[in-house]
């Protein structure tokens, strides 16, 4: 099965320069784009005398990536149809310009498990061109850089948001889009519960927003260091205030040995005179006196 060539320039300037230097027949070129707006996704492809806009659906139905790839796929199919209907195609190169590097890489690698239907359509378009002696190239161009074909595709994609979505199509959804919707709803419920939870008040000051990014704080750390970081961030640590609250035998007060306040994480790291030298060194290295940043704000 024939496959397209993929060309991704190293910079916007290089990509723009290659596009400006393209002197091929406009009828052998197409531009594609996708749009995600207000949780609604569309796809678009345009050529010298044609344009196609398609609304894929809203949240849980498609992601912007699907719009980008659908636009590229439709552009390839349109060029393949033009190739099939025209004479003397031997040696001709048909080009699709897309501002989505991700979509071009998906086609180049041909390994995506969730985009197989579109990849097969691109392969079929390439095969049509191969039989006629032509071939397909996919080029990356930067978006919103004044490239006329790209701007036309962007306009077509935005206009497609106004299309009515048939009920039958609305029942079909992308698996990755459905997973993303479930994950987002779970995250919002997690955030709602976290915000209203009665416990964890000190930790919530350090982590007011629910995110998996906090896991990065433990990447590459030894287990004892990671454990200590968790204790510092949650306040569940062997300082007098916590031990007193838990009624640990022998701890009758939450006051710090310095006598200048309760022995909490905030007091030890920011105020206790006992650790003045260590604190000064730590704050200089971290370039901050903010407790949230000292304990790893991501």
- Residue 185 falls inside a structural domain: no
Q: Write out pLDDT tens, residues 116-130.
A: 889 999 999 999 999
Q: Using alpha carbons only, what angle is made at residue 135 by residues 103 and 143, rounded to the nearest 5 degrees?
A: 35
Residues 33 and 97 occupy one common structural domain:
yes
- Residue 157 falls inside a structural domain: yes
- Output the pLDDT for position 200: 75
Residues 41 and 93 occupy one common structural domain:
yes
Query: What's the domain count of the chain?
Result: 2
In this structure, the strands spanning 51-57 and 40-46 are antiparallel
Dihedral of the alpha carbons of 256, 261, 262, 267, in degrees to the nearest 10: -90
Can you point out the beta strands (E) in 134-194? 135-140
Q: How far apart are CA 94 and CA 80, in angstroms?
A: 8
Averaged pLDDT, 275-293? 88
Residues 159 and 78 occupy one common structural domain:
yes
How does residue 187 score in pLDDT terms, banded at 50, 70 and 90? confident
Residues 148 and 10 occupy one common structural domain:
yes
How does the average pLDDT of the chain come out, rounded? Answer: 89
Give the range of the structural domain holding residue 83, as residue numbers without chain letter: 5-178
Q: Is the per-residue pLDDT at 174 higher than 80? A: no
- Residue 190 falls inside a structural domain: no
Residues 158 and 218 occupy one common structural domain:
no
How does residue 105 score in pLDDT terms, banded at 50, 70 and 90? very high
Residues 10 and 79 occupy one common structural domain:
yes
Residues 220 and 134 occupy one common structural domain:
no
Dihedral of the alpha carbons of 237, 242, 244, 248, in degrees to the nearest 10: -40
Residues 39 and 89 occupy one common structural domain:
yes
Confirm whether pTM is higher than 0.85.
no
CA distances from 40 to 46, 62, 143, 180, 235 (A): 20, 8, 20, 14, 43
Q: Write out pLDDT tens, residues 198-225.
A: 777 778 888 888 787 788 888 888 999 9
Residues 43 and 170 occupy one common structural domain:
yes
């Amino acid at each position: 099965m024939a496959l397209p060539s993929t060309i991704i320039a190293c910079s916007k300037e290089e990509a723009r320069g290659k596009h400006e230097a393209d002197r091929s027949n406009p009828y052998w070129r197409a531009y594609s784009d996708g749009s995600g707006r207000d949780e609604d996704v569309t796809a678009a492809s345009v050529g010298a005398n044609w344009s196609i806009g398609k609304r894929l659906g809203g949240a849980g139905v498609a992601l912007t990536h699907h719009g980008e790839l659908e636009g590229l796929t439709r552009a390839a199919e349109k060029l393949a149809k033009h190739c099939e209907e025209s004479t003397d195609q031997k040696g001709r190169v048909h080009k699709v310009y897309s501002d989505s590097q991700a979509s071009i890489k998906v086609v180049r690698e041909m390994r995506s498990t969730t985009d197989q239907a579109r990849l097969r359509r691109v392969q079929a378009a390439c095969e049509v061109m191969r039989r006629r002696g032509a071939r397909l190239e996919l080029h990356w161009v930067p978006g919103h850089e004044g490239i006329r074909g790209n701007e036309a595709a962007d306009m077509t994609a935005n206009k497609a948001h106004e299309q009515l979505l048939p009920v039958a199509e609305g029942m079909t959804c992308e698996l990755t889009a459905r997973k993303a919707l479930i994950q987002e709803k779970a995250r919002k419920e997690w955030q709602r519960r976290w915000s209203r939870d009665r416990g964890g008040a000190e930790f919530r000051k350090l982590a007011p927003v629910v995110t998996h990014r906090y896991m990065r704080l433990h990447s590459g750390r030894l287990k004892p260091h990671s454990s200590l970081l968790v204790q510092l961030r949650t306040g569940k640590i062997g300082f007098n205030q916590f031990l007193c609250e838990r009624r640990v035998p022998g701890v009758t007060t939450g006051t710090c040995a310095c006598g200048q306040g309760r022995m909490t994480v905030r007091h030890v790291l920011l105020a206790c005179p006992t650790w003045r030298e260590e604190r000064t060194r730590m704050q200089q290295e971290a370039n901050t006196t903010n407790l949230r940043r000292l304990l790893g704000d991501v």
